[in-house]
Amino acid sequence: MAIALHLDENVHLAVAEALRRRGINVTTPTDAGLVGAADDQHLEFARSQGSVVVTHDADFLRLHAMGIDHSGIAFCHVKKHSLRQLVRVVCKLAISSMPETMANRVEYL
């Protein structure tokens, strides 16, 4: 079973749409009522849902370093992958990871 994902506002909506077409459970800031919310609110929402945050925002790495509990962070520098490549690596992560192995862990994509 694939892990659930929460994309922050820095990740293009096309990524969410493509992942949903592949059967991945994905929420966006709009879905969660978090448009314009602080990063720690996204992290808390994702934790409450058991979702891994997918982000290009290095501020999430700072929150992780502060020891804030989370269900996992998948970080990718914004210029590292095309949208198509990002969908591929995030989909692979979602399918191959277990929630318990992602808890309080950062996965660099």
pLDDT 10s digits, 64-78: 999 999 999 999 988
Question: Is the pLDDT at 1 greater than 80, yes or no?
Answer: no
Average pLDDT over residues 36-61: 96
Pair 3, 52: CB distance under 8 Å: yes
Pair 72, 64: CB distance under 8 Å: no
Average pLDDT over residues 3-16: 95
Residues in the chain: 109
Question: Is the pLDDT at 2 greater than 90, yes or no?
Answer: no
Decide: helix, strand or coil at residue 36.
Answer: coil
Residue 78: per-residue pLDDT? 83
What domains sit in the chain, N to C, each tagged with a CATH number? 4-108 (3.40.50)
Q: Which amino acid is at 34?
A: L
Model-level pTM? Answer: 0.93
